[in-house]
Amino acid sequence: MKKLFLFILFAAFILSTNSYSQYASKAVRPEHKAYTDSLKNIKYDRVFPFWGAKAYQRGIDIPYPIGFMANYMWMDQGILINNFQLGINAPDGSELLPLTPLSEDILSFGSNTNTSWSFNVRPDLWIFPFIDLYGIFGYGRSNTTVEAIVLGEKLPTSPVEQGITTSGVGALFAGGVGPVWISLDANVTWNKPELLDKATFANVVGIRTGKLFKFNKRPQSNISIWIGGMYVNMQAETLGAIKLNEAIDDYDGVKDELAQRIDEKIPDAPPLLKPILKKLSDAIKNSTGESTIIYNMDKQVKQHWNGLIGAQYQLNKTWQLRAEGGVIGDRKSYLISLNYRFLGFKKKAKVR
């Protein structure tokens, strides 16, 4: 098993030889030959990436191993809501309605959208020339609009905006042949919205393939363009709380009408629904705009996959600027990044 693992690592190393290099080793242009030959003479004395010295001996220009990337991202996507449970507390915290499952006959959801922006910092480390490990730490704002339908009638709702803090970890696997490369990027994040009791879990997987275009007179500069796809999956269960006047416009002005509509449905409702409707009506009558909705639901993105296009300009091995857009599918996203890289730790000199 150990030999098999080492073989897989070695094979991945061979495949990754040009994934982030500036020049293809199979057909070096005359104007690049001097630079490529100089790589073979580098005495690489840094700890990371492992096998970095072997890469340079093959004339492969690998990236500096340590980096800090600053990212700004905007996203808009559809949200699906199911298995909704509702409770109502008075402003003093007393319980007007315990957390109660509401069937779709009572409450359902139409078109729901979430628009958000975030700024995060991503420190990373190439541990091998083909494996990059990173962390994610950031803050953003989320704006969610929910179309609630109570007893067949749409409620007047207003968007809910809140801040979100994010932390997570991820890994990037990259490989290529010549100027064409492919990468697989996967991360998990914990996102804590202001209005939720606990952080929600999400995982993102991205696969990309692209081509590197080299500058003839600037060996360390290049432009890369790519296409790909992104998969997003959210933690299903969400528990939170929000004041009624933040969830429903002019709640104090419409609550009596809402309670009356529920009362009118009770006589013709199925026997199992009548006690639930009665409790809901009484809770609404005794509530105010300062009362709090306690809710629990299963929430998921409308589409897990969307398509990506992107490009990166590498000024040199220290600075890179990247832009990417999610333009195919229900999810729309835009990303801009600035990356700073450096060589990092030197190996300890051997004592003779």
Digit-coded pLDDT (tens) for 16-63: 333 333 333 334 455 566 666 677 778 888 888 998 888 888 877 788
Task: Count other C-beta atoms under 10 Å from residue 250's C-beta.
Answer: 11
Read off the pLDDT of each residue in 84-108 and give the average, rounded to a whole number: 90
Listed by start position, the domains of the chain span 2-57, 66-342
Contact between 247 and 293 under an 8 Å Cβ cutoff? The reply is yes
Read off the pLDDT of each residue in 190-197 and give the average, rounded to a whole number: 86
Q: How far is it, in rounded angstroms, from Cα 76 to Cα 145? A: 11
The pLDDT value recorded for residue 109 is 87
Q: How far is it, in rounded angstroms, from Cα 214 to Cα 208? A: 19
Average pLDDT score, the chain: 85
DSSP 281: H
Question: Lowest mean pLDDT: which of 32-36, 127-131, 295-299?
Answer: 32-36
| Residue showing tokens 């890179």 | 320
- Higher pLDDT: 209 or 345? It is 209
The pLDDT value recorded for residue 72 is 98
Contact between 67 and 145 under an 8 Å Cβ cutoff? The reply is no
The answer, yes or no, to whether residue 78 has pLDDT greater than 70, is: yes
Tell which residue, 141, 73, 111, has the closest CA to residue 326.
Answer: 73
Question: Lowest mean pLDDT: which of 38-42, 83-87, 168-172, 223-227?
Answer: 38-42
Q: pLDDT tens digits for 104-117? A: 888 888 889 999 99
What is the topology classification, in CATH, of domain 66-342?
A: Lipocalin (2.40.128)
The model's confidence at residue 254, banded by pLDDT at 50, 70 and 90, is confident
Task: Count other C-beta atoms under 10 Å from residue 10's C-beta.
Answer: 12
Residue 146 has which token pair? 């929910």
Share of the chain above pLDDT 90, in %: 49
Share of the chain above pLDDT 70, in %: 87
Residue 249 has which token pair? 């416009």
